[in-house]
Chains A and B, each alone.
Chain A
């Protein structure tokens, strides 16, 4: 038994699995067992062998795996006990101590396969490229602007900026002091808006910004300006770009 399992397990690492169910499914597939007819003894041995190899499991992760080990051993011991003579023949199926575990595994496996399907969809979708919305020519404004913007969309837009920033993060960088004040950024936004009387997009304020301090300070400056009612936000479509305007600007007066 020992030789049999250790031959198959050396490459298995804790990080490869999402949890005890994932590991168990892997072992069942590897042993080419029918999920509805798990050979508990064999699987328990392999499962324990796996835990032995990964003895340096972190305590919080190990707990989950140990609970499963205990469950497996409980099932194994029940299977070994001679079954009580049951009066009602119909109940035999429900007496199978593996049933709960199998139900759980089948349910989990369903969603694992569904996740793989989603991954195919994801890859396919990423084959289709779109381009950015055309820039509004000078002296014109977007016709389908409708006022109204919720905190939620603003939050989402900011999170998008953070994700973008996160993805463009260089691997190595020097840490330097980065003194930017909200007052400075307020002035920066005001200046930019003077240069862009047609309004400017939310994202354009965050281009080429590498430091997260600066992003946060800029965002705060923006909120400050809204609070003082010096600028307005507008969003044309539900997922469209958010635009900033000077309050009382003619561009906004329609």
Chain B
């Protein structure tokens, strides 16, 4: 006798890195989507609880996949004996972060934040399918708007774009009030005179 979760697990196993969406799973099993969500949940918890199991259920964007747990990553690297996947450069990550938090956004706005041109980075990120066009701004020149893709979610292990960690909030160190400003300016001038 086959259990329902067994069916879901089997489909995920066969679909491999392509993964399946709730829609796909619903179509293939005939179960309702809420039921499938519950089953995926249960399957995921089962893997988590079982310390002898190396599997986990991944959920990024729309897609569910079977993957190995991160604990076994080291031993798997022995099997592949391959160099690490090419990671994104700091510059690419910077551009990507700006797009992720401010999308849709034009190249000019990105350039302004970074103080340098980002054209090449945008090209590279587009080729890697991490960003895509989100139409054009109705302004002179009709500049392209950029947004992150579904693959972006997968690449960074996010279920939805809302799962991005909150944008860091940078506050003054000593929470000095504006009243100190005169004093600070005075001190600074004093220092500067020393410097000269």
Chain B CB within 8 A of A104 CB: yes
Contact B188 A36 (CB under 8 A): no
Contact B167 A114 (CB under 8 A): yes
Question: Considering the chains assembled together, what is the distance between the CA atoms of A96 and B185 in angstroms?
Answer: 9
Chain B CB within 8 A of A216 CB: no
Chain A CB within 8 A of B98 CB: yes
Chain A CB within 8 A of B78 CB: no
Chain A CB within 8 A of B73 CB: yes
B130: min CB distance to chain A, Å: 10
Chain A CB within 8 A of B174 CB: yes
Chain B CB within 8 A of A187 CB: no
Q: Which of A120-145 contact B (CB under 8 A)?
A: 121-134, 143-144
Q: Which of B87, B157, B189 contacts A80 (CB 8 A)?
A: B189
Question: Considering the chains assembled together, what is the distance between the CA atoms of A119 and B114 in angstroms?
Answer: 18
Question: Considering the chains assembled together, what is the distance between the CA atoms of A116 and B58 in angstroms?
Answer: 23
- Size of chain A's interface in residues, with CB distance under 8 A? 66
Contact A36 B172 (CB under 8 A): yes
Which B residues are CB-close (under 8 A) to A167? 86
Q: How many residue pairs at the A-B interface have CB separations less than 8 Å?
A: 181
Contact A18 B195 (CB under 8 A): no
Chain B CB within 8 A of A173 CB: no
Contact A18 B90 (CB under 8 A): yes
Chain A, residue nearest B112 (CB): A104
Q: Which stretch from A37-45, A192-200, A244-252 is at the chain B interface?
A: A37-45
Q: Which of B137-196 contact A (CB under 8 A)?
A: 150-151, 154-158, 165, 167-170, 172-174, 176, 178, 181-182, 184-185, 188-189, 191-192, 195
A selection of 5 A-B contacts at a CB cut-off of 8 Å is A41-B192, A64-B116, A122-B155, A130-B19, A133-B18
Which B residues form the contact surface with A (CB < 8 A)?
13-21, 24, 27-28, 56, 58, 63, 65-70, 73, 76, 84-88, 90-91, 93-94, 96-98, 100-101, 113-116, 127-129, 150-151, 154-158, 165, 167-170, 172-174, 176, 178, 181-182, 184-185, 188-189, 191-192, 195
Chain B binding surface, main DSSP class: helix
Q: Which of A68, A130, A237, A239 contacts B66 (CB 8 A)?
A: A130
Chain B, residue nearest A128 (CB): B67
Which A residues are CB-close (under 8 A) to B76? 129
Q: Which of B157, B168, B172, B176 contacts A114 (CB 8 A)?
A: B168
Chain A positions 64 through 80: 1 when the CB is less than 8 Å from some CB of chain B, otherwise 0: 10001000000010011
Which B residues are CB-close (under 8 A) to A229? none
Known A42-B195, A133-B17: A122·B87 in contact at CB below 8 Å? yes
Chain A binding surface, main DSSP class: helix
Known A111-B101, A239-B151: A37·B172 in contact at CB below 8 Å? yes
Chain B CB within 8 A of A184 CB: no
Which A residues are CB-close (under 8 A) to B69? 128
Q: Which 7 A-B pairs have the closest CB atoms?
A: A19-B116, A127-B70, A125-B157, A36-B172, A130-B17, A34-B173, A21-B115
Q: Which of A79, A83, A118, A130 contacts B97 (CB 8 A)?
A: A118
Which A residues are CB-close (under 8 A) to B27? 144
A5: min CB distance to chain B, Å: 11
Chain B CB within 8 A of A10 CB: no
Contact B114 A124 (CB under 8 A): no
Q: Which of A94-118 contact B (CB under 8 A)?
A: 96, 104, 106-118
Contact B24 A237 (CB under 8 A): yes
Question: Considering the chains assembled together, what is the distance between the CA atoms of A210 and B188 in angstroms?
Answer: 62
Contact A134 B113 (CB under 8 A): no
